[in-house]
Structure 1
Amino acid sequence: METTDAEGPEPGPEPTPLKPGRGRRKAEDVRHATLTAAAELLLAEGVHALTFSRVATRAGVSKMTLYKWWPSPGALAFDAYFNAFQATLEFPDTGDIRRDLTTQLNTFVDLLNRNGSVVAGIIGAAQGDADLAEALSTHYVTQRRALAVARLTLARQAGQVRADADLEAIVDQLWGAVYHRLLMPAQPLNREFVDALIANLFQGIAVPEARKPAT
């Protein structure tokens, strides 16, 4: 899969590789340098270009350290991606579930429009990399689902979502539809699509007074 057109965060100063020396370096410094170097390679060239040798050279760390901390280059690629964008994917809570779902999905779609080939590459690589698949499931998919279900649960308790709504199915309806357009791009993945998803969803799950868009 071609990944050289992926865009990342705004470019900043080049990271300073850790210089070898006799003293023991802090583990957090080594980890930060490694994740920074891995994220740069991932966003510039894609998951298949990321190897322990290239990351170690770029970060100025020992390749043996990478083997010790990550079971595979794919697992390191996922960790680098999640570390770079974790704050971007935080789930808002303004008290208005429709507004919060719209905000979160738009943020996610904007991220995919910048780095969609990278995300698709990670998903594809996970099909043949058990360590990456485990990391993706345990540290990303499961946690992201839990955050969405927790927010939807609060909305149901507040009377904004029907009491009999299947919250896990709602997650699949919304985020599953976004991933479908990312991986099978027959239709555009944009904010208009998010608005349509939310509008269709709330015709089914919202109590009558919550079906209108937030003003």
Structure 2
Amino acid sequence: MITPSESAPSARRRSEKSRRATLSAALGLCTEHGYDKVTIEAIAARAGVSKKTIYRWWPTKGAVLLDAVTELAVSDTPFPDTGDIEADLRAHIASVVNLLNSRVAGAAYTGILSEVLHDERLARAVNDELVIPRVTLIHERMRQAQEQGQLPKDADLPLAVEMLYGPLYYRYALGRPLPSQERVDALVAHVMRALRASGSS
């Protein structure tokens, strides 16, 4: 016998379906028309949800797109652990480059970064929801390598993380080509040499 709870989708399931439709619609519109031309009205129409539903979860279109980009970052820029920290960093940084180069995430993230300059609330959200959690994870991966003896015990890991990500965002913010795989490998090798040299000194 099928109970009412089994025969009808739960509110949570309906909400998640609407949420995912909203994120997909926002990314699609941003890719097709550019960040500036995306509106909450357009997102709602494409997603098949009401504006009220969107505003229940997100205060602005920037917040919607940040949620979508954060999900892409989590799924597309993993932190591998093969036991070789240098190889793992090469793979991770390359995945970040690929994400920033992608039409879908790239268009949305470019718009978000331009908006944080005059939207303090969105700027805080970018740091709290995207930057700090991702930085924390790469720092943790490097700390594990430190415990395994692959990095010096006194290596400055927060600085190393900035050295790895900094060149990517410098180029991205200025609209310059992001590094090739060869340049990513060179960047990681340079940072690793700097860490090991600081430890030996």
Give the C-alpha shift of residue 194 in structure 1: 0.7
Secondary structure of the residue aligned to 1:189 is coil
Q: Which residue number in structure 2 is paired with residue 146 of structure 1?
A: 136
What is the TM-score of this pair, normalised by structure 2? 0.84
Judging changes above 3 Å, is the alpha-carbon distance between structure 1 residues 127 and 60 closer, same or farther for their aligned structure 2 residues? same
**Structure 1 residue 74 and structure 2 residue 62: aligned?**
yes
Change in CA separation of 1:45 and 1:189 when aligned onto 2, cut-off 3 Å: farther
For 1:147 and 1:25, the matched residues in 2 are separated by 29
Q: Percent of aligned pairs with the same residue?
A: 38
SS of match in other structure, 1:123:
helix
Residue-by-residue CA offset, 1:91-145 (whole Å, 9 max, x unaligned):
1111110000000011111222224443222111111122321221111000011
Paired residues, number: 185
Q: TM-score, normalised by structure 1?
A: 0.79
Name the CA shift for 1:187/1:89 in 2 (closer, same or farther; >3 Å). closer
Taking structure 1 as reference, are residues 25 and 99 closer, same or farther at Cα in structure 2, changes over 3 Å only? closer
Q: Is structure 2 residue 189 aligned with structure 1 residue 199?
A: yes
Q: Which runs of 5+ in 1 are unaligned?
A: 1-22, 208-215
Q: In the superposition, relative to structure 1, how do residues 67 and 117 fare at CA in structure 2: closer, same or farther (>3 Å)?
A: closer
Equivalent position to 2:45, from 39, 42, 57: 57
Structure 1's 193 and 118: CA in aligned 2 closer, same or farther, altered over 3 A?
Answer: farther
In structure 2, the CA distance between the partners of 1:198 and 1:134, relative to structure 1 (3 Å rule), is same
Q: Give the direction of change, closer, same or farther, for the CA distance of 1:38–1:63 in structure 2 (3 Å limit).
A: same
For structure 2, list consecutive stretches of 5 or more residues without a partner in the other structure.
1-10
Q: What RMSD, in angstroms, separates the aligned Cα atoms of the two structures?
A: 2.0
Task: Identify the match of residue 156 of structure 1 among 138, 146, 149.
Answer: 146
